[in-house]
A = this chain, B = another copy of it.
Amino acid sequence: MSERNAQWRLAARPVGLPKPSDWEYREEPAPEPGEGEFRVKLEYLSLDPAMRGWMNEGRSYVPPVGIGEVMRAGGIGRVTDSRHPEYEVGALVSGMFGAQRYAVSDGRGARLLDTALAPAPVHLGLLGMTGLTAYFGLLDIGRPQPGQTVVVSGAAGAVGSVVGQIARLKGCRTIGIAGGPEKCQWLVDELGFDAAIDYKRGELRAELRRHAPDGVDVYFDNVGGETLDEVLRRIARGARVVICGAISQYNATQPHGPANYMQLLVERASMTGFLVFDYAERYPEAIAELAQWLQAGELQSREDVVRGDLDQFPEVLLRLFRGENTGKLILKLADST
C-alpha cells in the first residue's frame, strides 16, 4: 500500500495560546497494521479543551504529549485494513487515534460504533467521552436531588450542555453560564434550562443572586477563574462543586486560584475533581441510558461540525478557547464518507 499519512506533531510547548510554530505538519507513509491490529482512516476529529493541558510539560493525569509526537486526539475512523478479528474493514470505530489521517490500533480504548443508534458525530458528543463526562461528573460527584439548584459553566459547550439537560431530567432547577445572547437563548429555548446567564454582560454576581436566590447546591465547573469564584460566593449549605475543567485558565501563564474557597468551610461544602476514565467499567450502562434519553427526545445532542480538512486542526482548536463553539466541536475531514 502507498497511502500517505498526514499528522500534526507537537513542535514546542506553547506559552499561552498555541501558535503555528508550536506545531509541525508532517506527511509520511501511512502505517501498516501488524497481527492483531487494524488501520483506520480518520473521518472526524474531536476537539477538546483538555488538549491544551496535554501539551504542557509536567505531572498530570496522562503523560504530556512529547515534543515531536503526534498530538493526542480522539476521533472516529473507518477501518481500511484489519488483522484484528473484531474490527472488520468498513466498520466505524472511535478511539484516541491522534491528530492524523491514518492510525493503527490494537483495539485498546477503541469502540465499534452503532450508527443505527445515532450518526457518527453523536458518538463523539452525547454518546462519547463528552456525554460520559457529563453523566458521571454530575450524577456521581454532583449528586443532584430533585428541586435542588444546579449551575453549570461552559453551559453551551460540549459537556456543559449535556450536564444541564441531565440536571433538568433529574428535576433540578438548572442555570447555565455561557458567553453571548445566542448561546443563552439556545440553552433556555432549546435545551430547557430554567435560566441562562451571559457572563459577557459582566453581571454574573447579580444574575446568580437573582436566579439562585436560595444558593447553588451543585456547581459543575468547566471554566474556573472568576466564574468559579463568583459561584463559590453563592453555594448553599452542603453544596458539591464538581471540578471538570478550567478553560479560562488553560492558556493563562499565571493561573487564578479560587480566592473564595473558604466558602467551602462556611457552607460545609466540597470541591471534587474527577476523571471520566475512572468510570470505564460503567460506560456501557451510561451510554445505554444516554441513548435511551436521546431516542425518547429527552436529551438533545448538538455537534458543532466544522467541514474542512486535517490542515485546519490547529486553527479549529483555537475556537474552543475563543468560546466560538456551541455544543461538541468536531472537525470533519474532507474526503470522509
Contacts from A to B (Cβ < 8 Å):
59-61, 224, 229, 243-246, 249, 255-275, 278
Report the bound CA distance from A275 to B262 in whole Å. 12
Chain B residue contacts of A249, Cβ below 8 A: 262
A224, B262: Cβ atoms closer than 8 Å: yes
Report the bound CA distance from A257 to B263 in whole Å. 12
A257's partner among B257, B267, B270 (CB-CB below 8 A) is B257
A265 and B244 in contact, given A257-B259, A257-B260 (Cβ under 8 angstroms): yes
Report the bound CA distance from A265 to B270 in whole Å. 13
11 intermolecular pairs with C-beta atoms under 8 Å apart: A60-B266, A229-B257, A246-B262, A255-B260, A257-B257, A257-B261, A262-B273, A268-B272, A268-B273, A269-B272, A270-B271
Chain B residue contacts of A269, Cβ below 8 A: 272-273
Count of this chain's copies in the oligomeric assembly? 2
* A239 and chain B: residue at smallest CB distance: B273
Chain B residue contacts of A268, Cβ below 8 A: 272-275, 278
Chain B residue contacts of A257, Cβ below 8 A: 229, 256-261
A273 and B278 in contact, given A258-B258, A258-B261, A261-B257 (Cβ under 8 angstroms): no
Report the bound CA distance from A256 to B258 in whole Å. 8
* A259 and chain B: residue at smallest CB distance: B257
Chain B residue contacts of A246, Cβ below 8 A: 262
Chain B residue contacts of A274, Cβ below 8 A: 265, 268
B259, A265: Cβ atoms closer than 8 Å: no
A265's partner among B61, B258, B264 (CB-CB below 8 A) is B61
Report the bound CA distance from A60 to B266 in whole Å. 6
Q: A228: shortest Cβ distance to chain B, in Å?
A: 9
A243 and B272 in contact, given A229-B257, A257-B259, A259-B256 (Cβ under 8 angstroms): no
* A244 and chain B: residue at smallest CB distance: B265
A266's partner among B260, B262, B272, B273 (CB-CB below 8 A) is B273
Chain B residue contacts of A61, Cβ below 8 A: 265-267
B259, A264: Cβ atoms closer than 8 Å: no
Q: A336: shortest Cβ distance to chain B, in Å?
A: 33
Q: A192: shortest Cβ distance to chain B, in Å?
A: 28
* A224 and chain B: residue at smallest CB distance: B262
Report the bound CA distance from A272 to B245 in whole Å. 18
Q: A218: shortest Cβ distance to chain B, in Å?
A: 14
Q: A64: shortest Cβ distance to chain B, in Å?
A: 12
A264, B258: Cβ atoms closer than 8 Å: no
Q: A291: shortest Cβ distance to chain B, in Å?
A: 26
